[in-house]
Amino acid sequence: MKFFIDTAIMDEIREIHAWGVLDGVTTNPSLIVKSGRDFREVVSEIAELVGGAISAEVTGLSAEEMIAEGRDIGTWSEHIVVKLPLTPAGLQACRTLTGEGIKTNVTLCFSVPQALLAARAGATYVSPFAGRVDDIGWDGMELIRQIKEAYVMGDIGTQVLAASIRHPQHVVQSALAGADVATIPYKVFTQMVAHPLTEAGIEGFMKDWASLGTQQDSAQ
Ligand code: E4P
């Protein structure tokens, strides 16, 4: 399973990119606002740094608006993936942009029927929002598992991008459910890497290593 980071904050992207584990970045209008940066400027900077797949979302609501925006956003970088909402207009825009060779991420997916429609419209990625499904008392990970199963059964090439990830177990469960990608917030990356036994192990090794110097000093 590939890892994207779900943020538009450059410091967060730089840090996780430096770990050598990043395959792409997802943004959305809320994340762009949170970054405090100009949309095109920040997305272009992300694309230059990370490469991979950089999702940038349209904000128009009609198919015509989404197609026009998608065509423009698609010129910002070869790494751009145009993010479109899972609405009738979004599906129409997905079909048109896909036909023009622009990569697409159909977002705000909350059901298997929606995911099947996104795939038929030619989406490169579909983004089921696991955390938001959990929030309303349903099972976000079961949704991801069912979408993946339906895609495998139908020999569908659209990649399942597990989104709205809230904690490390969501990442584990996404991998076990067969998601192709998980888009992970910065905080969850830091939670994933941390383990008290790793910290304790380093402390023990360093203490023993330091005592070697002391032993050599006293042997002289
Ligand atoms: C996906 O691409 C979205 O940006 C994101 O995962 C939404 O997550 P949230 O539910 O935490 O806002």
> Which pLDDT tens digit goes with each residue over 31-90?
999 999 999 999 999 999 999 999 999 999 999 999 999 999 999 999 999 999 999 999
DSSP 76-112: S-TTEEEEEESSHHHHHHHHHHHHTT-EEEEEEE-SH
> Which pLDDT tens digit goes with each residue over 3-14?
999 999 999 999
- Give the separation between CA 137 and CA 145, rounded to whole angstroms: 17
Q: Which among 2, 5, 6 is the best mutation to test ligand 1's pocket, defined by most ligand atoms within 8 Å of the CB?
A: 6
Predicted structure pTM score: 0.95
Using CA atoms of 129, 133, 134, 140 in order, give the dihedral in degrees to the nearest 10: -60
> Which pLDDT tens digit goes with each residue over 99-110?
999 999 999 999
Long-range contacts of 192-201 (CB under 8 A, 24+ apart): 192/168, 193/19
The label of the residue with tokens 């029927």 reads 113
Percent pLDDT > 90 in the chain is: 96
Cα 179 to Cα 23, 166, 176, 193, 205, distances in angstroms: 14, 16, 8, 20, 37
Band (212; pLDDT cuts 50, 70, 90): confident
In the chain the domains, ranked by start, together with CATH numbers, are 2-194 (3.20.20.70)
Distance 163 CA to ligand 1 centre (A): 6
Candidates 83, 103, 148, 207; catalytic one: 83
